[in-house]
Amino acid sequence: WPGSGGVCGGAAMDLFGDLRRMNKRQLYYQVLNFAMIVSSALMIWKGLIVVTGSESPIVVVLSGSMEPAFHRGDLLFLTNFHDDPIRAGEIVVFKVEGRDIPIVHRVIKVHEKGNGNIKFLTKGDNNEVDDRGLYKEGQNWLEKKDVVGRARGFLPYVGMVTIIMNDYPKFKYALLAVMGAYVLLKRES
């Protein structure tokens, strides 16, 4: 396609042509519509944080360490009510100092002290050894403050979209650009 700029170049020219043909009022309306969608999603997320007591009410399983209970790409729904005691067998999502990504593993041992302080040990169902090697240096047990949430339900493989977007950042930006363009250029009937 010599001289046409290729398929992507033609699509970009169509996009800018559509933007030029819109009057200012339509463009402002579409930008406002896009802002409403983004702010609504943010309000729903913040509402879920309040209702579930978890700083991250929904997480995606990123590894196979919990197979067969959960697979890579499963979407987990979490709660984190501090009054609920942590019990052995429960699946928790926890953060470790020095690591950005939370870990989803099962509680295998719980130590309760007389003063109500609880410490516990975790392990992935598909792992050979417990998680002491994952904790920060010198830490042998987790505490309630380390818990992001506890698994209460899941949707299988729904989170694969998130994994694909993290593995292929160009795909993520292209998808976001297409969705943004669609919202901005979509005309109300």
Q: Which domain holds residue 77?
A: 58-156
Active site residues: 65, 105, 131
* Domain presence at residue 4: no
* 23 & 92 share domain: no
pTM over cut 0.85: no
pLDDT at 3: 46
Bridge partners of 143, per DSSP, are: 119
* 76 & 147 share domain: yes
CATH of the domain at 79: 2.10.109.10
* Domain presence at residue 92: yes
Residues near 160 by Cβ (< 8 Å), separated by ≥ 6?
72, 73
Strand arrangement of the beta sheet that strand 147-155 belongs to: 58-60, 75-79, 147-155, 91-94, 103-112, 118-123, 142-143
* 128 & 164 share domain: no
Number of separate domains in the chain: 3
pLDDT at 4: 45
- The answer to whether the Cα torsion of 133, 138, 143, 147 is positive or negative is negative
Nearest-5° angle of CA 51, CA 53, CA 57?
80
* 128 & 170 share domain: no
Decide: 75 and 159 in contact? Cβ < 8 Å.
yes
Q: Tell me the percentage of the chain whose pLDDT exceeds 70.
A: 87
| Cα–Cα distance, 132 to 124 (Å, whole number) | 11
Distances (CA, A) of 161 to 11, 53, 73: 24, 26, 8
* 175 & 97 share domain: no
pLDDT at 87: 92
Confidence grade of residue 1 (pLDDT, cut at 50, 70, 90): very low
pLDDT at 66: 95
* 74 & 131 share domain: yes
Q: Which two tokens stand for residue 42?
A: 């943010």
Pairing of strands 75-79, 147-155: antiparallel
Higher pLDDT, 19 or 33: 33
The predicted-structure confidence for 47-73, as pLDDT tens digits, reads as follows 999 999 999 999 999 999 999 999 999
pLDDT at residue 166 tops 80: yes
The predicted-structure confidence for 105-145, as pLDDT tens digits, reads as follows 999 999 988 777 899 999 999 999 999 999 998 899 999 99
